[in-house]
Homo-oligomer: A and B are copies of this chain.
Amino acid sequence: MQRDKKPTLSEVAKLAGVSEITVSRALRGSASVSGKTLLKVEKAATSLGYLRNRLAGALAGGASNQVAVILPSLSNSVFADVLNGLEVRLEQAGFHPVLGVSNYDPQQEEQLIRNLLTWRPAGLVIAPSDLTKASHALLEGAGLPLVEIMDTDTTPIDMGVGMSQRGAGSRMAHHLIARGYRRMAYLGHDIVRDRRAAARRDGFCATLGKAGLALCASLTLPAQSSVALGRQGLAQLLSEASEWPDVVYFSNDDMAVGGVFHCMSQGIAVPDSLAIAGFNGLEIGQSLPVPLATIASHRTAIGKTAADCILDRLSGRHTETLADLGFTLIAGGTA
């Protein structure tokens, strides 16, 4: 590892026998550089192993090519998918995500926003957990393309990409009612922190209510969602419930898959003795011996679309304020 200073523009310029600014233009692919000088410059640059310093470039020119991304969690594969979609699109455009994870903690989220903004990113994508007043103010005053992702139930500050979480919950309620289920139970993970899971639950319950129904059992576990939690949670729910439910609506597919596993290990027939429904449309759920009834969220698309919003805005193109990417019911076989 050589510790020497990296070569600078002016050294390349000297070697190529042109001015710094010409090197700068040549290396950035400006049109107003003749083929001959371009060649000279490129030769000089590679022979010196020159790497431009984008810190300096961004400071001088304003454009940063970094996009701040704030997610509430990475253990949840949903956000990994979103990040994946984001990264792909950003990379295509020569941009890079700078990542922050808030752990569903508003304070940490605010700190993250503040810190990431100090890098003067070209844009900011956030899956908000719960914005503090200060967070809100920071975002409003940031003066950069800003996309709030994951749900469309609230009005975005600048742009929004996602789906109606409430609507998804409602849709599943309609579906389960239509399938003839009546005794419905809910099993969720930490709903206080995951406000989108809470919105799905609310939508679900509201639709039940309109049909004159109500949850016959409900359990919310104060922990991160996981397959193990779903499995253990279903055992608890069933042992505590006063009556055996027809169907359990889980806060997401991880939990629901855990529920399916519990049933398998206890010999509970799914869906005949107990039906199971989830949310997200994860691959694992669809690869089960009996595919999971769920609602597919278009996670990767959300990431891609969010990236597009930022990129479009930066290139001056028109952008929608709110992109609702919807969701897709997967009837599956478990409900």
Residues of A within 8 A of B (CB): 1-4, 6, 49, 51-56, 58-59, 64, 66, 74-75, 77, 80-81, 83-84, 87-88, 91, 94, 96-101, 112, 114-120, 137-138, 140-144, 146, 157-158, 226-228, 231, 257-258, 261, 264-265, 283-284, 286-289
Contact = CB atoms under 8 A, between A and B. Distances in A.
A118 B53 contact: yes
A99 B101 contact: no
Going nearest first, the 5 A-B pairs with the smallest beta carbon separation are: A80-B80, A265-B289, A227-B287, A74-B84, A54-B118
The count of identical subunits is 2
Contacts of A289: 261, 264-265
24 contacts: A1-B142, A1-B143, A49-B141, A51-B117, A53-B118, A53-B120, A54-B119, A54-B120, A55-B59, A55-B119, A66-B119, A74-B87, A83-B99, A84-B101, A87-B100, A96-B119, A226-B287, A227-B283, A228-B286, A257-B284, A258-B287, A261-B288, A264-B289, A265-B289
A55 B158 contact: no
A80 B87 contact: no
Contact of A2 (B6, B120, B143): B143
A126 to B, nearest CB: 14
A87 B114 contact: no
Contacts of A88: 101
A94 B115 contact: yes
Contacts of A227: 283-284, 287
Max count, chain B CB within 10 A of own CB: residue among A52, A118, A146, A228: A118
A97 B94 CA distance: 17
Contacts of A97: 98-99
Contact of A98 (B80, B98, B265, B286): B98
Contacts of A115: 94, 96
A261 B287 CA distance: 7
Contacts of A54: 118-120
A170 to B, nearest CB: 29
Contacts of A98: 66, 96-99
A116 B328 CA distance: 37
A138 B50 CA distance: 10
Nearest to A230: B287
A38 to B, nearest CB: 19
Given A2-B143, A55-B58, A227-B283, 14 more contacts: A1-B140, A1-B158, A2-B140, A2-B141, A49-B141, A51-B118, A53-B118, A54-B118, A74-B84, A77-B80, A91-B112, A99-B99, A226-B287, A231-B287
Contacts of A119: 54-55, 66, 96
Contacts of A100: 87, 91, 96
Contact of A77 (B6, B77, B120): B77
A288 to B, nearest CB: 6
B59 A1 contact: no
A296 to B, nearest CB: 14
